[in-house]
Amino acid sequence: MPKVTRYDAPRVIDSGSIWILVAAPTIWAVHFLLSYWVAAVYCAKSGSGWLGGLTDPRWIIVGLGGLSIAAIVWLGMIAVRRYGGVFVVLEEITDSSEQGRERFIGHVALLLCALSAVAIVFTVIPGLVFDRC
């Protein structure tokens, strides 16, 4: 009965393990928000000598971007280790089994990690070019 085996594996969504998909874009969004907050606070306070003067704004920008990308790399490693994600484009991941679905999630998570990392770099670049308020 081939029809039945198609649906035999438990749906991953029920096992609650798809958080890995949203994690990387969430970091991207949080980094984006933080960039605005940190810049606003920095620009408001830099005149008053609090924080400002001490630190070159570039270091804050690089630090924030570096931390976010490190978090994404760590997520990428989880996607590979725990989900068996692979970074391939020449092969389709279409297995209809529990393991196949996990691999698919790992694969998508990896691609999202790459996308989010590129997006964060694009957010960091303007901060590096404009090192002032």
Partner 1 sequence: MRRGTSILFGVLFLTALGGCDGRHNWMAGAGEEAAAIGDLFLILMVGAAVIWSLVVGAAVYAHRRRAHPGLEREARLFVIWGGVVFPVLLIGALLVWGLFLLKGITADEGDLTVRVDGERWWWRVTYETPTGDVVTANEIRLPQGRTALFRLTADDVIHAFWVPALGGKMDMVPGRETTLALTPKKLGNWGGLCAEFCGGAHALMRFDAVVMAPDAFETWLAREAETAQVAADDPGFQVFLDEGCGACHTIRGTQAAGPVGPDLTHLAGREKLGAGLYEMTPEHMARWITDTHAMKPDIDMPPYPHLSGPRLDTLVDFLMRLE
Total count of residues recorded for the chain: 133
Comparing CB distances to partner 1, the nearer of 19 and 32 is: 32
Q: Which of 22, 40, 77, 118 binds partner 1 (CB under 8 A)?
A: 118
| Between 77 and 121, CB nearer to partner 1 | 121
| Cβ closest to partner 1, residue 53 vs residue 126 | 126
Work out whether 122 is an interface residue with partner 1 (CB under 8 A).
Answer: yes
d(CA 59, CA 24): 23
Does residue 126 touch partner 1 according to CB under 8 A?
yes
> Looking only at Cα atoms, what is the longest distance across the chain?
75
| Helix then strand then coil, % of the chain, to nearest 5 | 70, 0, 30
